[in-house]
A and B are shown apart, each in its own frame.
Chain A
Amino acid sequence: MYTFSNKLKTFSFILMILGALGVGYGFMTSHKSLDEVKTMLAEEATGHGGGHGEDASHAVSDSDHAQAEEAHEETSHGEETHAENAHHGDAHAEHVQHQLANRPWSALYVAAFFFMMIALGVLAFYAIQIASQAGWSPVLFRVMEGITAYLLPGALIVMAIAVGSHYLGHDSIFMWMNPDVINPESEHYDKLIDGKSSFLNLPWFIIRGLIFIAGWSAYRHFSRKFSIAQDTAEDQSNFKKSFRISAGFLVFFIYTESMMSWDWIMSVDPHWFSTLFGWYVFASMFVSGITVIALITIYLKSRNFLEFVNENHLHDVAKFMFAFSIFWTYLWFSQFMLIWYSNIPEEVTYFVTRFQDYKLPFLGMVVMNFVFPILMLMNADYKRIPWFVVMSGLVILFGHYIDIFNMIMPATVGDRWFIGIPEISSVLLFAGLFIFVVFTALTKAPLLVKGYPFRKESEEFHY
């Protein structure tokens, strides 16, 4: 049995407290008055020769100008678009004011989603291992079950932040939640969002979210129950039940994961759509989840638990990290290239904003999520060295945090992004909570699935 060391427990609490303080600070300082914003803009204009980011979308070449303007209207928050001439200075300042207020909400949401998706990715990985009756992985099942314990609290937090941004904030993350955008009388009326309002409305959003969470948690609950029951069982009936519900869950998962990615991420840009978005988010969550399995396994091993896990198992996990990093790149590029090639204004606006205002995180993430893992983890011997896998894993995790950052932030804070106190604190807060929940769950059951039929095969697994 694993015991949650006091050191790690204290560490997780410190992370949560530091994170909570920083998040609080972020919310307190994000509300600027209109005058403050104007002063800030004026300072930026003189300080940077007037060439700061918010003008970048106007600084495109003539041939693209009309298109960029249109693109800009698409991404603006249903509020006034940026106006080029000075008469609309107030509207622009108000827009920036809203973006500044959106930042702590978005930072919190990105971090909450990131840790939730790790748990969800691991749950899918776990179901695949059982449904495919994999022989190498059963020694890691209890680690996976520990990680998936975070799914229920994590997903509820994501939903709470999404809904809270409507009731407590002023629709800081999802502009379609603002009732004005579907009210034809309002000056913020948006015909396109109105057209989608039979799907994108708050009650239906909440009901869908609860269905997703209920389905995932039900699978998590029963598979864990059968897994523990199998430890002392005399026959294989628990394994068989677990096998059946895993196959069923995978079908449920791939539909709900895809719809979840439209609801919880893609709808921050309610005019934009991509048909492979669900896959793309899936690739990100899968590789992050597998990476966390590797990191926690190595941590437990370094504390002299998991004596039955050896470098052969680590090698296979690292192979998955390598393979799914490439899979992620494939989907990232497929989405990008098709949209870039066809160059349709309503689609391409998504990448125009990212290239203009998010160049460093957008391209930096490709380096961290593709170039780095492909070079680091290609060699078979390196996949068997724990510290090497840890270093690569941390880069991959950071890269996928930036991936989620790039999905949410351009729609909510525009060019007012920075990785500062709100973002780092949000990550610390949820990292602390994640560590606390996961390692508490690990203490609840023995770390080896004793009665699992493939246990012996897994223990003797040899690369």
Chain B
Amino acid sequence: MEASKVIHAIYTDDDVLMSAVKKVKAERHHIEEIYTPFPVHGLDKAMGLEPTRIAITAFIYGLIGLTVSVLMMNFIMIEDWPQNIGGKPSFSYIENMPAFVPIMFELTVFFAAHLMVITFYLRSRMWPFKNAENPDPRTTDDHFLMEIAIHGNEKELESLLAETGAVEINLVDKAH
């Protein structure tokens, strides 16, 4: 596997980081990744990341949860062991539907929330026993790290990053 060189610029303030990102993007450099100790509002837009599609998956998971609850209540309360609901022994799903609405609601939320979290973890390549990809432990405390790939333009990049207020600039060999 080929080893590529990347540059790590470290910042100590999220506002400085934001303006740095804007400058670097304006110079048409590609930012590989940014590590921050907390979510920085608007950073995804400044980096030019695509909008998240997690909301679409959440909607689909909600629909799955709704379907599961409908089928489940139909099986449990109507087919498998018919129940007299609220003194109205009609044994019809549609006539007893109001009693099932809270369950439909809860399972919709349950499926949407849990599956969305699991999807998010998998998509972010985080699973149990996974080793941290974080290049510098200080980014879990109070430092911000911007990673940019180098294509023979290392001097130019270094001076640009120094201008943007980086407190530390390191050249790193990154094994793929």
Give the distance in Å from the alpha carbon of A378 to the alpha carbon of B55 in the complex.
Answer: 10
Q: Does B39 contact A (CB under 8 A)?
A: no
A333: chain B residues within 8 A (beta carbon): 98, 101
Q: Are A337 and B88 in contact (CB under 8 A)?
A: no
Give the distance in Å from the alpha carbon of A341 to the alpha carbon of B98 in the complex.
Answer: 8
Q: Are B101 and A343 in contact (CB under 8 A)?
A: no
Q: Could you list which residues of chain B lie within 8 angstroms of chain A, going by C-beta atoms?
A: 42, 55, 59, 86-88, 98-99, 101-102
Q: Are A337 and B87 in contact (CB under 8 A)?
A: no
B101: chain A residues within 8 A (beta carbon): 333, 337
Q: Are B42 and A462 in contact (CB under 8 A)?
A: yes
Q: Of A343, A378, A380, A462, which contacts B88 at CB under 8 A? A: A343
Q: Are B86 and A336 in contact (CB under 8 A)?
A: no
B99: chain A residues within 8 A (beta carbon): 337, 341
Q: Mark A302-336, 1 if CB is under 8 A from B, else 0.
A: 00000000000000000000000000000001001
Q: Of B42, B88, B98, which contacts A336 at CB under 8 A? A: B98
A378: chain B residues within 8 A (beta carbon): 59
Give the distance in Å from the alpha carbon of A342 to the alpha carbon of B98 in the complex.
Answer: 12
A343: chain B residues within 8 A (beta carbon): 86-88
Assuming the contacts A342-B86, A343-B86, A343-B87, asked whether A337 and B98 have C-beta atoms less than 8 A apart, the reply is: yes
B87: chain A residues within 8 A (beta carbon): 343
- Closest Cβ of chain A to B51, distance in Å, is 9
Q: Does A11 contact B (CB under 8 A)?
A: no
Give the distance in Å from the alpha carbon of A462 to the alpha carbon of B86 in the complex.
Answer: 50
Interface range on chain A: under 10, 10 to 19, 20 to 34, or 35 or more? 10 to 19
Give the distance in Å from the alpha carbon of A342 to the alpha carbon of B42 in the complex.
Answer: 51
Give the distance in Å from the alpha carbon of A333 to the alpha carbon of B55 in the complex.
Answer: 26
Q: Does A272 contact B (CB under 8 A)?
A: no
Q: Does A340 contact B (CB under 8 A)?
A: yes
Q: Return the chain B residue nearest A462 by Cβ.
A: B42
Q: Return the chain B residue nearest A339 by Cβ.
A: B98
- Closest Cβ of chain B to A201, distance in Å, is 37
Q: Are B42 and A341 in contact (CB under 8 A)?
A: no
- Closest Cβ of chain B to A326, distance in Å, is 10
> What are the 9 A-B residue pairs with the smallest beta carbon separation, nearest first?
A341-B86, A337-B98, A340-B98, A343-B87, A343-B86, A333-B101, A341-B99, A337-B101, A336-B98
B86: chain A residues within 8 A (beta carbon): 340-343
Give the distance in Å from the alpha carbon of A336 to the alpha carbon of B98 in the complex.
Answer: 9
Give the distance in Å from the alpha carbon of A337 to the alpha carbon of B99 in the complex.
Answer: 7
Q: Return the chain A residue nearest B42 by Cβ.
A: A462
Give the distance in Å from the alpha carbon of A314 to the alpha carbon of B100 in the complex.
Answer: 36
- Closest Cβ of chain A to B149, distance in Å, is 30
19 contacts between A and B (CB under 8 A): A333-B98, A333-B101, A336-B98, A337-B98, A337-B99, A337-B101, A337-B102, A340-B86, A340-B98, A341-B86, A341-B98, A341-B99, A342-B86, A343-B86, A343-B87, A343-B88, A378-B59, A380-B55, A462-B42
Task: Kindly identify, within residues 353 to 398 of chain A, every residue whose CB is under 8 Å from any CB belonging to chain B.
Answer: 378, 380
B88: chain A residues within 8 A (beta carbon): 343
B55: chain A residues within 8 A (beta carbon): 380
Q: List 12 additional contacts besides A333-B101, A378-B59; criterion CB under 8 Å.
A: A333-B98, A336-B98, A337-B98, A337-B99, A340-B86, A340-B98, A341-B86, A341-B98, A341-B99, A343-B86, A343-B87, A380-B55
Give the distance in Å from the alpha carbon of A462 to the alpha carbon of B41 in the complex.
Answer: 10
Give the distance in Å from the alpha carbon of A414 to the alpha carbon of B88 in the complex.
Answer: 26
Q: Return the chain B residue nearest A379 by Cβ.
A: B55
B98: chain A residues within 8 A (beta carbon): 333, 336-337, 340-341
B59: chain A residues within 8 A (beta carbon): 378
Q: Return the chain A residue nearest B56 by Cβ.
A: A379
- Closest Cβ of chain A to B29, distance in Å, is 25
Give the distance in Å from the alpha carbon of A378 to the alpha carbon of B62 in the complex.
Answer: 13
Task: Kindly identify, within residues 132 to 167 of chain A, every residue whose CB is under 8 Å from any CB belonging to chain B.
Answer: none
- Closest Cβ of chain B to A72, distance in Å, is 20
Give the distance in Å from the alpha carbon of A333 to the alpha carbon of B99 in the complex.
Answer: 11
Q: Return the chain A residue nearest B85 by Cβ.
A: A341
Give the distance in Å from the alpha carbon of A100 to the alpha carbon of B61 in the complex.
Answer: 51
- Closest Cβ of chain B to A460, distance in Å, is 13
